[in-house]
Every structure is written in C-alpha cells, then in structure tokens.
Amino acid sequence: MKLTSIVIALFLSAFSAGASAREPEEVAGRLFLKLTGTPLSLGDSRRQGMIDLVKAGKLEEAARIATADPAFFNLTIRHWGAPLTNRAESPAIGLNDATAMIIGLARDQKDFREILTGNFTYGSPEVALSPYNDQHYAQISDLNLAKVLTRVEPQNADLDEAAGILTSRAWGEAHLQAGTNRRAIEFTFRQFLCNPLQNMRDGTIPDTRVHRDVDRSPGGNSQTYLTTCRTCHAGMDALVGAYAYYRFDNTGPFGAGVLQASKVQRKYNQNGDVYPEGYVTTDDSWINLFTENQNKQLQWRGPLSGKGIKEFGRMIADSGAFSKCMVKRTYSQICHRDLETTESAVLDGLANRFEQSGYKLRELFEQVAVHPTCL
C-alpha cells in the first residue's frame, strides 16, 4: 500500500470511529448519565430535546437539561462533596451540614468560594431541630435535597465569625476536636487545594512561628527537627493562628459543636515546656509562609497574612490552586480518570472558565462533562 492510501485508510477509520462515538442519541445519553448518575430512558420527555441540542452542536445547553435533574444534586454533587467533609474522606457518610452547604451553593448557583468564606448553612425548615444539630440532617438525608434544602443565615448564632465549611459542625468534629487545630489547616490544603501537606514541605521557611510544643531536638537530634519537623511546622504553625479562638465541643450543656471564644484557646499554648523559646499564640493572626519554591505553583493572589478564619478562607478560595482543585475533583468524578500532568492546558482552560463563570459549580460540571477529552 502506498503511503497516501495508508493515510487515507487511517483517516477513514478514525473518522468512522469518531462518527459512531458522536451519534447524538449516544452523546445525549452519556451526558445525562455522567451528570446525574442515572440513565436517560427512551421514553423520557427530555431525551429528544437533548438530542436536538447535541445535533445543533449546543452541548452545553444539552448538559444544562441534565443538571436540572434533582439527581444531579442528590447523587452527583452529594457524592462529590461528602469526601471533603470527613476525616476518612468517605463519600458514603450520612448527610451533614457541610455536604448540605455544598449542595445548596451548587443548586443556588452561588459563587462557590463562599464554601470557605460565607456565613450561611443549609437545612430544611420542615424539621423542627436546628440545622446545627446532626439529627437535623439524619431526618432529611433521604429526601429530595435539591428541593428541601433552604439557605439559613447566620450559620451559627454562637459564632461571631463563620467561614463556610471551615466553621461547619462536620468540619469541626473532624478537625477541631481535641488536638491543636493544625489538622484543620492540613485538611484545608488537602481538600481545597488538592495539595497534601507532604507536597508543601519546605526546609527554607523561617521557623519563627513554630509553637513551643514542637521538640527542636527530637531524640536528642536537632538535625531531625531541621530536616523533618520544621519543613511542615514552619509553614503550618504560622497559619494555624487563624483558628486560635475556635474549638469543637461535643459534651456538656454547651456541647454545641464549634465554639468560638474571645481569647486564644488553651490548647494553642499547651506543652509550652517542650521548647519554651518557641512561638506563643496571643491572637488570631496568621501569616502564609508557604509561598516559595514548589508552593509558588499554588498561585496565591490576595493578602498573605491576616486575622481569623474568614480571611484565611478568602486567601485559599482566591488562589489559582483552589480553582484547579475544583476542576480536578470534578474531572475525576465525571470522566472516571484523573487529569494527566501532560493535560495542563485542559486543566488551565477549565479552571479559567470556572473563574470567569463566577465560580459556579454547576457550570463547572457541565463544562467538564462536554469537554472533548471527557465525552
């Protein structure tokens, strides 16, 4: 065979494979299944409309029909959001306030950065219990959440300052209970920047904010501190001041969940005798020192220091890494594979669209579902 005929043969086979994969009926069915987790039956009244839109090349409008289905919120968004709200990162957990917030923001087409900054929650007025009680969510867990969830403000009357999920009951139970609140910082990176602390370690960060409870010479070896402990704690301890006034309490008459005091919680300065010269927390100020070397990729944009959890949440939500992380999570779920490192143009493109759309989670799902690399 001559080279030209090989090329033509290849072209024809690629074309016919492409054409069969792009039958409008099949595309409509795939889009619906990807976005709702449920098949589009032949008798469904929305089917022809979706097929016509696909034929007309209006894939995004076809996807919009799918995301109007309650299953998009009740199954797809819920399954996407639940792992962000618990320590085991399990999607198979009962409904909680944090997952309800994610579903609510998606349904109401709010700026999804509110998930780290907003003073709101979502619950159902049909349940007598306050939305700040886990029993509230047990009672509505099996209902049509796309319908029953109602926005409630403020998030929690006991808090002076709320920051979306970061002050939710579920998050507090997972990360602010006992301990030193450091885990809440670690999991913010993990869940919202898709960046485990392990990847952020940097031995060049000044250790002026490392707390007194961290041994500077573990096992009598100061090198261990310098090469190991410091690489995480120098950056993390400088940020954990954001949570200095918060703790989680599930016991006693005031067992209301996340509690906020007007002074630094005792746990911040516990075990001060380990290294008395270490940093003493006196207020809720924080400073972001994870800004050099590999952490430049996080694309920090706003102020790199502040006070309290809301300003911290704002910094995370405004970063480039936040938008990319939301894309990566959505892509993995909808397209059943992770974006490859070689696909950075796809990632950047979808992240830019997400930001230009005003951070609308529903639109992000639609954009991902219709993306040629996914469909």
Binding site for ligand HEC (CB under 6 A): 179-180, 182-183, 186, 197-198, 213-215, 218, 224, 228-229, 231-233
Q: Nearer Cβ to ligand HEC, position 121 or 188?
A: 188
Q: Which residues pair with 248 in a beta bridge?
A: 177, 258
Nearest distance from C-beta of residue 118 to ligand HEC, angstroms: 26
CB of 213 or CB of 363, closer to ligand HEC: 213
**Cβ distance to ligand HEC smaller for residue 169 or 212:** 212
d(CA 290, CA 202) in angstroms, rounded, equals 8
In the numeric block, the tokens 């579903």 are attached to 103
The CB-of-53 to ligand HEC minimum distance in angstroms stands at 48
Query: Least separation, in Å, of the C-beta of 268 and ligand HEC?
Result: 11
Q: How far is the CB of 276 from ligand HEC (least distance, A)?
A: 14
- Judged by beta carbon, residue 187 or residue 359, the one nearer ligand HEC is 187
- Characterise 198 by phi-psi region: left (phi > 0), alpha (psi -120 to 50), beta (else): alpha
Of 214 and 370, which has the nearer Cβ to ligand HEC?
214
Shortest Å distance, C-beta 269 to ligand HEC? 12
The SS3 of residue 41 is: coil
Let me know: does 34 contact 106? Beta carbons within 8 Å. Answer: no
Instruction: Compare residues 238 and 339 and give the one whose CB is closer to ligand HEC.
Output: 238
Within a 13 Å sphere around the CA of 240, how many CA atoms are in the beta-carbon half?
29
Report the C-alpha gap between 16 and 200 in whole angstroms. Answer: 47
CB of 223 to ligand HEC, least distance (A): 11
Q: Is 114 left (phi over 0), alpha (psi -120 to 50) or beta?
A: alpha
CA distance 20 to 34: 19
Q: Which residue, chain included where needed, has tokens 């609140």? A: 181
Structure tokens at 282: 């006196």
Q: How many CB atoms lie within 10 A of CB 271?
A: 14
Nearer to ligand HEC, 141 or 199 (CB): 199
Shortest approach of ligand HEC to residue 15 CB, angstroms?
51
CA atoms within 13 Å, Cβ hemisphere of 9: 6
